[in-house]
């Protein structure tokens, strides 16, 4: 027998210890079974090795590395020998279990089970490379042992595919610990540590890019680190890194492709031109009929083929693996590549995915088919994008002659680059298409004009420029042959034009907080979309309408609208996800106002997990603001603040106007709750002093801050008009303003007025079921509600229920200081110290012998680095960071 198979392997050089995974293993051996299932090179053996050698398990550990010829009694002989070393094969009467082969298999397993069951403490058995077991009787025997050892056997299996054990039983009972590729993938921090152990250091951007390109694959990162150690320019190495690097290609070929049959390898090569694949699409490209089975088998074998979350039955290949496959395809079957793209385009077009079809038609160089797709499906191409984050295929530019003589081809490329999110390239093709418009025959020119205007509108939406969106939407409506979408024939594409224009107009108004205008536009867009039979526009308009109604306080109608939107027949592209995200966010807001915070959080997770937030700023802002509100209601102020900071970072330049006011008001409420009244006021007052009208949420938040600062007079003056719906203020804000008005009146001794105001608030709140406002309101609100019960109210049950549900103010945690990503220079630190005082910029410049412009430059840099809007905020954050 080979004793090396029973020995824990030697630790590899440069091993990165990963406590988070060690904790998973420690937790796993409290139960009967732990399975590490991941493809080759994902660090399963290294992790178990480090865990055992570091003394992770307190129980005795038996190690066995399985090989391909360990069948029948040979496997059990090795396991028996391994258990012998720890004395686990002796029973309670200290009689050794006879070796396998001496007695029948079932007798041996029964005696071994009895011996293990008699142990005073559990024993851990690690089976490495278990995927190599050729004998189906081995998993059956192990399952027998797990059932009959009274919990004394703790099995840890490392494998490239799930073992043939009834995992579902342990999974259902909660006794199975699974460590998969997503767990074993290196984080950015772990990647940096791995590189450092190899003497390699990368800038943050290149570090993140390397981690993303390898998807955290440990072997790929280690091979890259080894190569970079000898490379004169590591960042340049990362820029050129791919699956065809010699080390990567050799590993994937030897460890993955070598184990696959010729048929499966051919199917992989053919489908490598795709960004995602399903069974039917694989069949279309290979001429086979078993694509679904092949993909399921590849997934089962962990052959760098993973299902796409939420998009079953779609799969994708690991990025490096896909690059290797494409290189092999180009080397072995270069003549097939255009035909494969053409077959993919036809399949996508036939399955309602025109953006994907167009991309592959362009990649195939089939200009005629590409322009036909554009003409036939331009409304869907404007509205509904392709695979989003999975997009990697960029069709090469067409020959100059083709693009300059065919404006429709130029427009097709513009559509593709918009789908990619490349605004610069899209602009170039849009200009080229417009320049070549006179080349078209008169019969095609009118439709081309409509298409070009629609894509200009899509471009403005992608850029987040609401002003241009409204301008282009108006232009598109002006181009419509008829003045009323209801007059359009049922199948006319003019209805599609109306749907696109009004959907865009509604989205722009919604992002600007103009809810009444958004409601009109989205209603018209939904009607036109139904007339045109455009599921994309229907989903988007219906989802946005649901959120709009929730924002306006029409909670019950918003609930119905969201359910109706989710029940619409889905389109095949991203609109399904984006429209669903709006509906889920509407449901989250409704549950939040109904004080069902757990439900609200669940819907927030669904909204965040399904939406294309990059192109929908109100989704990002809304998810953050509502989540911050939920966390504030629970007293988790620091977590709420972190959510808002992340949303501001993600939105960047798109955080303007209404959305900026919304997040600022949410942050001010957190600071008010924390007791940082001064900062809350400094955030809000400048917004009210700007020329544009601030969102009512800002005024309500400022009033709340004054009230918490024991200044009810200032709070009352800050409140917007709320008793009647005069200026379109949403009902939730009117109710909050009304409650604050009632509280300030009570504090001023005007008890009768306070009671009347509260009764009016209750009258407005009761039909829609508002509850959170009363259960998580101001500290003084509870006394006001008690008085209302004593004085008599038409809403006795509502007030009584609110009093029962409301509790003491939740504990308040600390707000964290903003992380200082970019350090201040020495000169900036000097200027920062001056900012604590009352000196003007001119006086600081004089004292430091600098020009005023230089001081202003330093001050702007300080504000940027500290994420501060003004001097006082910069000083406060600098103190939090202990810079002052």
- What DSSP letter does each residue of 446-487 carry, written as one string? HHHHHHHHHHHHHHHHHHT-HHHHHHHHHHHHHH-SSS-GGG
Confidence of residue 492 (pLDDT cuts 50, 70, 90): low
When mean pLDDT is compared across 237-241, 260-264, 597-601, 725-729, the lowest value belongs to 725-729
Confidence of residue 872 (pLDDT cuts 50, 70, 90): confident
pLDDT above 90 as % of the chain:
58
pLDDT of residue 668: 93
pLDDT of residue 809: 47
Whether the predicted pLDDT of 96 surpasses 80: no
Task: Please give the average per-residue pLDDT across 852-867, as a whole number.
Answer: 82
Confidence of residue 384 (pLDDT cuts 50, 70, 90): confident
Confidence of residue 490 (pLDDT cuts 50, 70, 90): very low
**Best CA proximity match to 802, nearest among 789, 815, 814:** 789
Region for residue 882 given its phi and psi (left: phi exceeds 0; alpha: psi -120 to 50; beta: otherwise): left
pLDDT of residue 101: 80
Q: Mapping DSSP to helix (H, G, I), strand (E, B) and coil, where does residue 612 land?
A: coil
Whether the predicted pLDDT of 703 surpasses 50: yes
**3-class SS letters over 188-205:** HHHHHHHHHHCCCCCCHH
In degrees to the nearest 10, what's the CA dihedral of 790, 792, 794, 800?
A: 10
pLDDT of residue 130: 95
**Best CA proximity match to 158, nearest among 135, 197, 184, 140:** 184
pLDDT above 70 as % of the chain:
94
pLDDT of residue 196: 92
pLDDT of residue 756: 93
The tens digit of pLDDT for each residue in 271-285 reads: 999 999 999 999 999
pLDDT of residue 844: 85
The tens digit of pLDDT for each residue in 306-345 reads: 998 777 799 999 999 999 999 999 999 999 999 999 999 9
Q: Assess whether the region 3-184 and the region 826-880 belong to the same CATH fold.
A: no
Calpha distance 69→133 (Å, rounded): 8
Residue reference for tokens 């429209």:
579
Write down the mean pLDDT value for the chain. 88
Whether the predicted pLDDT of 56 surpasses 70: no
- 808 contacts 867 by C-beta, under 8 angstroms: no
Residue reference for tokens 């009208």:
693
The tens digit of pLDDT for each residue in 105-153 reads: 889 999 999 889 988 889 999 999 999 998 889 999 999 999 999 999 9
Fold classification of 3-184 is: Rossmann fold (3.40.50)
- 176 contacts 45 by C-beta, under 8 angstroms: no
The tens digit of pLDDT for each residue in 608-656 reads: 877 566 678 899 999 999 999 999 998 888 889 999 999 998 888 778 7
Highest mean pLDDT among 90-99, 628-637, 825-834 belongs to 628-637
DSSP 628: H
Whether the predicted pLDDT of 292 surpasses 50: yes
Calpha distance 588→726 (Å, rounded): 27
Q: Of 1.10.10.10, 3.50.50.60, 1.10.1780.10, 3.30.1330.10, which CATH number belongs to 826-880?
A: 1.10.10.10
User: In this structure, which long-range contacts are made by residues 282-290, counting pairs with CB atoms below 8 Å and at least 24 apart in sequence?
Assistant: 284/343, 284/344, 284/346, 284/347, 285/340, 285/343, 285/344, 285/347, 288/263
pLDDT of residue 110: 93
Calpha distance 303→76 (Å, rounded): 28
Angle at 615 between CA 613 and CA 621, to 5 degrees: 50
Highest mean pLDDT among 63-72, 482-491, 517-526, 836-845 belongs to 517-526
Domain boundaries, the chain: 3-184, 188-241, 826-880
**Best CA proximity match to 108, nearest among 65, 70, 137, 66:** 137
pLDDT of residue 776: 87
Whether the predicted pLDDT of 486 surpasses 60: no
Whether the predicted pLDDT of 501 surpasses 60: yes
Confidence of residue 91 (pLDDT cuts 50, 70, 90): low
Whether the predicted pLDDT of 701 surpasses 70: yes
Whether the predicted pLDDT of 512 surpasses 60: yes
pLDDT of residue 90: 64
Whether the predicted pLDDT of 857 surpasses 90: no
Whether the predicted pLDDT of 9 surpasses 70: yes
- 275 contacts 390 by C-beta, under 8 angstroms: yes
């Amino acid at each position: 027998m080979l004793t090396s198979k029973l020995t824990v392997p030697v630790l590899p050089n440069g091993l990165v210890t990963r406590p988070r995974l060690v904790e998973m293993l420690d937790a796993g051996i409290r139960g009967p079974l732990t399975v590490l299932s991941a493809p080759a090179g994902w660090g399963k053996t290294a992790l178990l090795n480090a865990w055992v050698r570091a003394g992770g398990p307190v129980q005795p550990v038996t190690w066995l590395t399985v090989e391909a010829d360990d069948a029948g009694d040979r496997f059990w002989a090795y396991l028996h020998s391994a258990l012998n070393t720890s004395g686990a094969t002796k029973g309670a009467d200290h009689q050794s279990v006879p070796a396998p082969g001496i007695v029948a298999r079932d007798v041996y397993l029964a005696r071994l089970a009895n011996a293990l069951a008699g142990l005073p403490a559990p024993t851990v058995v690690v089976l490495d490379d278990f995927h190599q077991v050729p004998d189906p009787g081995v998993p059956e025997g192990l399952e027998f042992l797990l059932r009959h050892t009274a919990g004394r056997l703790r099995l840890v299996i490392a494998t490239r595919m799930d073992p043939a054990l009834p995992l579902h039983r342990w999974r259902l009972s909660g006794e199975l610990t699974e460590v998969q590729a997503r767990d074993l993938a290196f984080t950015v921090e772990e990647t940096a540590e791995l590189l450092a152990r190899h003497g390699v250091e990368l800038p943050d951007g290149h570090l993140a890019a390397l981690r993303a390109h390898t998807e955290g694959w440990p072997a790929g990162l280690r091979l890259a680190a080894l190569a970079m150690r000898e490379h004169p320019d590591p960042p340049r190495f990362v820029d050129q890194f791919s699956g065809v690097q010699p080390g990567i290609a050799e590993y994937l070929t030897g460890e993955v492709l070598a184990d696959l049959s010729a048929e499966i390898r051919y199917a992989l090569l053919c489908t490598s031109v795709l960004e995602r694949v399903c069974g039917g699409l694989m069949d279309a490209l290979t001429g086979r009929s078993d694509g679904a089975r092949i993909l399921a088998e590849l997934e089962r074998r962990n052959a760098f083929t993973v299902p796409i979350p939420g998009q079953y039955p779609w799969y994708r290949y690991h990025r490096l693996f896909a690059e290797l496959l494409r290189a092999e395809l180009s080397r072995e079957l270069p003549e097939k590549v255009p035909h494969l793209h053409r077959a993919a385009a036809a399949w996508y077009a036939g399955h309602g995915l025109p953006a994907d079809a167009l991309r592959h038609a362009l990649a195939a160089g089939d200009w005629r088919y590409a322009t036909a797709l554009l003409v036939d499906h331009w409304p869907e191409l404007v509205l509904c994008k392709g695979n989003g984050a999975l997009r990697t295929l960029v069709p090469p530019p067409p020959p100059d002659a083709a693009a300059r003589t065919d404006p429709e081809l130029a427009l097709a490329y513009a559509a593709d680059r918009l789908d990619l999110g490349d605004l610069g390239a899209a602009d170039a093709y849009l200009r080229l298409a417009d320049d070549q418009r006179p080349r078209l025959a008169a019969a095609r020119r009118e439709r081309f004009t409509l298409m070009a205007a629609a894509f200009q509108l899509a471009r403005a939406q992608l850029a987040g420029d609401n002003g241009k969106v409204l301008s282009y939407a108006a232009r598109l409506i002006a181009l419509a042959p008829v003045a009323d979408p209801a007059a359009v024939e049922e199948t006319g594409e003019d209805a599609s034009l109306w749907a696109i224009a009004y959907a865009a107009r509604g989205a722009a108004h919604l992002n600007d907080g103009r809810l009444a205008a958004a409601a009109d536009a989205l209603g018209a867009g939904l009607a036109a979309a139904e007339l045109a039979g455009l599921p994309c526009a229907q989903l988007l308009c219906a989802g946005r309408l649901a959120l709009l109604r929730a924002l306006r306080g029409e909670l019950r109608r918003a609930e119905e609208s969201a359910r109706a939107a989710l029940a619409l027949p889905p389109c095949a592209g991203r609109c399904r996800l984006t429209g669903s995200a709006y509906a889920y966010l509407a449901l989250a807001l409704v549950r939040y106002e109904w004080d069902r915070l757990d439900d609200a959080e669940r819907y927030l997770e669904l909204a965040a997990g399904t939406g294309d937030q990059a192109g929908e700023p109100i989704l990002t802002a809304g998810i953050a603001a509502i989540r911050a509100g939920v966390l504030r209601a629970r007293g988790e102020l620091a977590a709420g603040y972190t959510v808002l900071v992340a949303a501001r970072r993600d939105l960047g330049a798109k955080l303007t106007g209404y959305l900026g006011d919304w997040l600022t008001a949410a942050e001010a409420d957190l600071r008010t709750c924390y007791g940082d009244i001064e900062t809350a006021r400094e955030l809000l007052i400048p917004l009210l002093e700007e020329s544009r009208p601030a969102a009512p949420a800002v005024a309500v938040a400022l009033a709340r801050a004054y009230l918490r600062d024991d200044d009810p007079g200032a709070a009352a003056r800050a409140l917007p008009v709320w008793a009647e719906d005069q200026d379109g203020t949403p009902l939730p804000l009117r109710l909050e303003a009304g409650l604050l008005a009632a509280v300030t009146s009570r504090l001023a001794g005007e008890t009768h007025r306070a009671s009347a105001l509260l009764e009016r608030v209750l009258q407005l709140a009761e039909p829609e079921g508002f509850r959170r406002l009363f259960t998580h309101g101001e500290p003084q609100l509870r006394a006001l509600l008690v008085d209302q019960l004593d004085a008599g109210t038409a809403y006795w049950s509502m007030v009584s229920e609110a009093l029962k549900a409301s509790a003491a103010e939740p504990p308040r945690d600390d707000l964290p200081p903003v992380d200082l990503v970019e350090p201040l220079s020495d000169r900036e630190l000097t200027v920062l110290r001056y900012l604590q005082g009352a000196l003007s910029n001119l006086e600081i410049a004089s004292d430091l012998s600098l020009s005023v412009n230089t001081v202003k430059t330093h001050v702007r840099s300080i504000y940027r680095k500290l994420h501060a809007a003004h001097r006082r905020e910069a000083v406060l954050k600098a103190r939090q960071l202990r810079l002052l």
